[in-house]
Amino acid sequence: MSSYIIKGGNKLEGTVKISGAKNSALPVIAATILNAGKTTLYNVPNIKDTQMMYEILKILGAKIEKKNNKVIIDTSKIDRFEIPDELMHKMRSSVILAGAMIGKYHKATFTYPGGCDIGSRPIDLHLKAFEKLGIKITQNYGEIYCTCEKIIGEKIDLDFPSVGATENTILASVLQEGTTTITNAAQEPEIEDLANFLNKMGAKIKGAGTNKIEIEGVKKLKEISYNIMPDRIETGTFLCLAGATGGNIELQNVNPIHVTPVIAKLEEAGCYIEKEKNKIKIQAPKKLKAIDIKTMPYPGFPTDMQSVFGAMLTTAKGTSMIVENIFENRYKYTQDLNKMGAKITIEGKTAVIRGVRKLYGATVKASDLRGGAALVVAGIMAKGITVVENIDYILRGYENFEKKLREIGANIETSKAL
């Protein structure tokens, strides 16, 4: 795998155009299966995760035409209903294809996605919701077969507001008979984007973005074009990069409302932030103040931002505390930050970050997407050279990361693995 070589110490200044949201694009791409026709999507990020989703769709029989951030997906010839084991393991979120396949064809075969570097990530809530919808699930050596004659609307109360389980339930319910009501639904903006997309196609979904979602089944959908919403995690990452370097950055193509808790925390740390309709400007002080963070389901502080904040706070004045409530194993990056001179201790769900004067360059290794981004932030803050290995993880979720960083003054380049 390739590495980033970063010469740290530069203050980041300038303008960044934020890409389309990975976590919205993935379920929307899966949802194109439901209308068995052509869908045109705009503002789709060109990242490893969307490429992997296209690979799976092609194996199932779809045709994909791609030009920059525009993608035309033709799902009219889908004739396979198994997600290959190998790809399922490579990309956990491919489980979202199951809801779309079952919703359209009443059958899907896939394997357990398995654990990953941020936790065990079970899919019990997805399967429980499928069963409630009348889908028969049989399991054999880790392979899961789902079939049903038809799907009839039901009341589904999720034990936890899981993003993936909410999306899979919506996808399975769009073409059903009757109405499904999801309570304790996840309220993330990406779910609203998926529902807006499906409603434009002709679905009848109400309440997405709240904790109660109602899906009235429709008979068929139509061909549409749709613009994917901006990525709120990429937005937050660049805001933190300004925060971490005493920088001054303008972000374009963003939705400031989606990053409300992130902005609140950056302001608490001493940053000055101006919001416009599709823009955010941030001016950071020379030294940040320590803050406390607790990750929560939306509209709380996002777990996906925790690591990047963790890196940014290593040199803040005072002691910061992070409590990670969503995933059980999301602090791996802190070991690498400590190698760079940070003072972080972990006790269960809590990370205590004692602010130090400086970080120092070191060779570190990304072990997941957002943890990898945190190491890049640290490398840009640090004195000297940092090598971030295993950047494939980072490329799964950040479009043109290196280019965007260089444009605002970071000294970063990619070195290919020998």
Tell me the closest approach of the beta carbon of residue 410 to ligand UD1, in angstroms.
Answer: 24
Give the shortest CB-370-to-ligand UD1 separation in angstroms. Answer: 8
DSSP letter string, 92-116: GGGGHHHHHHHHHHSEEEEE----B
How far is Cα 311 from Cα 110, in angstroms, rounded to an integer?
37
> CB-wise, 3 or 93, nearer to ligand UD1?
93
CB 241 within 8 A of CB 375: no
- What is the nearest approach in angstroms of ligand UD1 to the Cβ of residue 297? 7
Minimum CB separation of residue 214 from ligand UD1 in Å reads 20
Dihedral of CA atoms 83, 89, 91, 94 in degrees, nearest 10, equals: 30
Enumerate residues 6+ apart whose C-beta is below 8 A from 246: 11, 284, 285, 286, 287
- Return the number of the residue (121 or 365) whose C-beta is nearest ligand UD1: 121
Structure tokens at 152: 């009839």
Residue 205: both structure tokens together: 């979904």
- Active site amino acids: 116
User: Rounded to an integer, what distance in angstroms lies between the CA atom of residue 278 and that of residue 63?
Assistant: 33
Q: Between 303 and 386, name the residue whose CB sits nearer to ligand UD1.
A: 303
**What's the rounded Cα separation, in Å, for the pair 390 and 416?**
10
Identity of the residue, 122 or 178, whose beta carbon is nearer to ligand UD1 in the bound complex: 122
CB of 349 to ligand UD1, least distance (A): 11
- Give whichever of 164 and 372 is closer to ligand UD1, judged by the CB atom: 164
Order across the sheet with 411-415: list the strands.
363-365, 385-389, 3-7, 411-415
184 versus 335: smaller Cβ distance to ligand UD1: 184
How far is Cα 363 from Cα 299, in angstroms, rounded to an integer? Answer: 36
CA distance 215 to 300: 25
Q: How far is the CB of 347 from ligand UD1 (least distance, A)?
A: 19
d(CA 137, CA 148): 9
Minimum CB distance to ligand UD1 smaller for 231 or for 389: 231
Closest contact distance (angstroms) between CB of 196 and ligand UD1 is 16
Q: Give the residue closest to ligand UD1 by C-beta.
A: 164
Residue 292: its H or E element: strand 292-294
The contact set with ligand UD1 (CB under 6 A) reads 23, 26, 93, 119, 121-126, 160, 162-165, 186, 190, 303-304, 326-327
CB of 350 to ligand UD1, least distance (A): 16
| DSSP summary character for residue 174 | T
Size (the chain), residues: 418
Nearest Cα residue to 360 out of 402, 406, 314, 415: 314
Give the nearer residue to ligand UD1 in terms of CB position, either 23 or 181: 23
Beta strands in 126-195, from DSSP E residues, in sequence order: 136-140, 143-147, 155-157, 179-183
Spacing of C-alpha 102 from chain mean position: 23
